[in-house]
Structure 1
Amino acid sequence: MTSAPSSSSVILRSTLVWGAVITGILAVLGAVIGFLVAGVTGLASALVGVLLAGVFLGMTALIILIAGRLPPGPAQIPTFFGIVLGGWVVKLIVFIVALVVLRGQPWIEPYVFFFCVLASVIASLVVDLVVMARARVPYVGDVDLPTSVDPSPGDTPGS
């Protein structure tokens, strides 16, 4: 018997799917606008900017999904936060290294790259907002409530 997925994993999976869709749309839109603004250099800059931002933003949800699969136990919560925090630190370092490497490349148009990364980050935030606003998450959380038991005749109030 498999357990039902937790509400957070449903939200994160939905965020990943919609984030991928929006990243694809932004890649096409950015490539067209980048090509019109700066030719092939603008096209390449737009694609690299959108894909770089999309991958790094999607990795957050993926890291949390992976960390959420830890078996229950006394070390679950510290391990979960260690994985998430470690993933964010690694992402930050790799992102900075990628920006430094791409900084001096002749095939990168800095303004097109910047605006495509900015558009991707804003779109990702909007996706997160919409997915969270539309999610049907119970206030109680992912707990099993006790089943109701019919009271015996002596247990009724007023008897």
Structure 2
Amino acid sequence: MTAEARMYRRAIALIAIVLAVIAVVGAVIAWVVAGPAAAGAALIGAGVAALGAIPTPVAMLVGHRKPPHVMAGIVAFSWLGKMFVIIVALLLLKNVESFHKAAFAATAVTGIVASLVVDVTTMRKARIPYVQPGP
């Protein structure tokens, strides 16, 4: 396994762990502050954060050994797919009266920002060169 593949796998694992912790903590806080409906909204928010965060490193893991145009296509279509699913989910949830939007938003934004921090930190520590050495 290449160093690059290890880095993507590590990013996926760390993001999953961080989002699981955020889901639990967010749900508990939402339950205490606003009740069980808010806890459910917080869990959905964590799920949306996972849907926004995990496909990118998975696409990179799948495509990093492919030609650049293939990898770009994999990443672009994974992004397009997750955006479509997130938009549809948001459109469906906006009409649910008992849905606690604040708990959802707080957990989703926290999860997305935390996953971005994990991505950047993991990639900075990996020290993967992005240039080909000369002869």
Q: Which TM bucket (shorter chain)?
A: 0.7 to 0.9
Work out whether residues 50 and 116 of structure 1, in 8 Å CA contact, stay in contact via their aligned partners in 2. Answer: yes
Paired with 1:137 and 1:82, the residues of 2 have a C-alpha distance of 21
**Is 1:91 the counterpart of 2:82 in the alignment?**
yes
Paired with 1:139 and 1:103, the residues of 2 have a C-alpha distance of 43
User: Relative to total residues, which structure has the larger helix share, 1 or 2?
Assistant: 2
1:2-41 maps to which residues of 2 (within 5 A)?
4-5=1-2, 7-41=3-37
Paired with 1:10 and 1:16, the residues of 2 have a C-alpha distance of 10
Paired with 1:125 and 1:56, the residues of 2 have a C-alpha distance of 10
The letter of the residue matching 1:44 is: G
Work out whether residues 38 and 103 of structure 2, in 8 Å CA contact, stay in contact via their aligned partners in 1. Answer: yes
Q: Kindly tell me: are residues 140 and 90 of structure 1, through their superposed partners in 2, closer, same or farther at Cα, counting changes over 3 Å?
A: closer
Instruction: Determine the structure 2 residue equivalent to 1:111.
Output: 102
> Once the two structures are aligned, what percentage of the paired residues are identical?
32
Work out whether residues 30 and 116 of structure 1, in 8 Å CA contact, stay in contact via their aligned partners in 2. Answer: yes
Paired with 1:78 and 1:69, the residues of 2 have a C-alpha distance of 11
Q: Kindly tell me: are residues 139 and 58 of structure 1, through their superposed partners in 2, closer, same or farther at Cα, counting changes over 3 Å?
A: closer
Q: Deviations over 1:89-130 (max 9, x none)?
A: 121111111111111123420011011111001111111122
Paired with 1:88 and 1:82, the residues of 2 have a C-alpha distance of 10
Paired with 1:63 and 1:40, the residues of 2 have a C-alpha distance of 35
Unaligned runs of 5+ in 1: 71-75, 147-159
Instruction: Determine the structure 2 residue equivalent to 1:154.
Output: none
After alignment, is 76-85 or 56-65 more displaced? 76-85
Work out whether residues 44 and 107 of structure 1, in 8 Å CA contact, stay in contact via their aligned partners in 2. Answer: no
Work out whether residues 12 and 61 of structure 1, in 8 Å CA contact, stay in contact via their aligned partners in 2. Answer: yes
Q: Deviations over 1:31-57 (max 9, x none)?
A: 100101210111100101012211321
Larger-gyration structure (1/2):
1
TM-score by length of structure 2 reads 0.88
Work out whether residues 45 and 107 of structure 1, in 8 Å CA contact, stay in contact via their aligned partners in 2. Answer: no
The letter of the residue matching 2:110 is: A
**Is 1:57 the counterpart of 2:53 in the alignment?**
yes
